[in-house]
Amino acid sequence: MDIAKIQILLQEAELDGWLFTDFQGHDFITKEFLELGNRFCTRRMFYLIPTQGEPVKVLSAIEPHLLDHLPGEKMLYHGIEGQKKVLSELLKPGMKIACQYSPGGNVPTISSMDAGLIEYLRTYGIEPVTSADLMQHFGAVLTEHQIETHRQAGVIIHKILTDTFSWIREKIDAGTYIDEYAMLQKMQELIRQENIYMDSPPFFGIDEHACDPGYEPNENDSKQIREGSRLIIDIAGRLPEEDAVYYDVSWCMNVGEKIEPEYKKWFQIVYDAREDARQFIQARLDEGETVRGYEVDRRLKERFEQLGCAQYLMHRTGHNIGHRCHGIGANLDDYETHDDRCLLPGTMFSIEPGLYTEKYGVRLEYDVHITSERETKVYGPVQDEILVI
């Protein structure tokens, strides 16, 4: 809990404070940010970090020790009328207070305050302001050690991919029948041999199954892998240690050297879009300007519209990456949500445009880190052509 850093950020944002609150563990952001652990509040509690001065804990007299692990003055209340009296002393009309909510629900990952609580806080005459960008500084800006864990996870993941592709070629050359489910079992075997944690198995599909970005191989309807098959794979993992950061990539392959021209065409369209997105971000950074998540996604959507293929979009351009594969920072999204958060130096996100026709599915993903020098950096191989297996 770096109070000094928080107060500097509050001053820069011209806010009067940052409010955290919880009741029976409902607010997952408060639980994590305030490091409540197994502490459980059965009455409403508040923790206010003002722009200047000492933090204030507002607690029920029944649970006076709930926040003893945090700095700040303690104010106890008795019943709802006592709570209102204490809050009216802290929350003055006209104050702008950062809260865990998103106007219009634009950024769902930050909306942990319920609508009723926001209504209640407004009765004190304050203006709740989203803490979405503030939260990034503490939940999404990565350390050098975290970046190193990301890089190490990438080495392991690409080894698993290389071994998987070698297995495919070996089986096909031997005339052995293999399908998506057999490939999944082989990949899970390879994953178990490595020092890697994955919250879900790899997603992949052969031929028409590659046209479904959420397809998961199963025993009943797996497609055969044969010479000429097209393969798309999405795999993500991190080292099994505290604060380790995910490595998340999607690659496109072809079994054998005979690649259909139409497949090459769609690959090139998606590849060019991915590189355009990165160049757009870098140009903004070079100019000293901010770039917001939705701007990148909107740019690629307009690009696909100009090419006449926007109807094949099925997901956003990218997501924040952290200790969770889908982190708490800004996403490249104006498709599923409208993410107006800034892409901050120190954060990492995927760039993964995808197009899915009835026959061809192409998604190309790599992870981009904005360094403290405002450079976009990728830690791992970058696919620039269809990989032949």
Would you write out the chain's pLDDT as a tens digit for each of its 389 residues?
789 999 999 999 999 999 999 999 888 899 988 999 888 899 999 999 999 999 999 999 999 999 999 999 999 999 999 999 999 999 999 999 999 999 888 888 888 999 999 999 999 999 999 999 999 998 899 999 999 999 999 999 999 999 999 999 999 999 999 999 999 999 999 999 999 999 999 999 999 999 999 898 988 889 999 999 999 999 999 999 989 999 999 999 999 999 999 999 999 999 999 999 999 999 999 999 999 999 999 999 999 999 999 999 999 999 999 999 999 999 999 999 999 999 999 999 999 999 999 999 999 999 999 999 999 999 999 999 999 99
Pull the structure tokens for residue 369: 């880190």
How far is residue 370 CA from its own chain's centroid? 15
Pull the structure tokens for residue 73: 């003055």
Where do the H-state alpha helices sit in 210-335? 261-286, 293-306
Do the Cβ atoms of 270 and 255 come closer than 8 Å? no
151, burial (CB in 10 Å: exposed 0-12, middle 13-18, buried 19+) = middle
Do the Cβ atoms of 246 and 322 come closer than 8 Å? yes
pTM of the model as a whole:
0.90
Please name every residue paired with 362 in a beta bridge, in sequence order, or none if there are none.
355
Which amino acid would we find at residue 385?
A: E
Do the Cβ atoms of 166 and 183 come closer than 8 Å? no
The residue behind tokens 């952001």 is 29
The residue behind tokens 């791992």 is 380
Nearest to 22 by CA among 132, 80, 100: 100
| 238 dihedral zone (left: phi>0; alpha: psi -120 to 50; beta) | beta
Nearest-angstrom CA–CA distance, 322 and 295: 21
Nearest-angstrom CA–CA distance, 70 and 56: 10
User: E strands along 109-179, which residues?
Assistant: 127-130
Nearest-angstrom CA–CA distance, 136 and 133: 5
Q: What SS3 class is residue 229?
A: coil
The residue behind tokens 């009455």 is 43
Pull the structure tokens for residue 144: 């050098």
How many residues are there in the chain?
389
Element (H, E) at 165: helix 144-173
Nearest-angstrom CA–CA distance, 107 and 329: 10
Please name every residue paired with 232 in a beta bridge, in sequence order, or none if there are none.
205, 252
Q: What SS3 class is residue 357?
A: coil
pLDDT at 15: 97
Helix 261-286 to helix 293-306 angle (10° resolution) is 140
Do the Cβ atoms of 327 and 321 come closer than 8 Å? yes
Domains of the chain listed by start with CATH number? 3-139 (3.40.350.10), 141-388 (3.90.230.10)
Distances (CA, A) of 237 to 155, 161, 166, 205, 377: 11, 12, 21, 19, 19
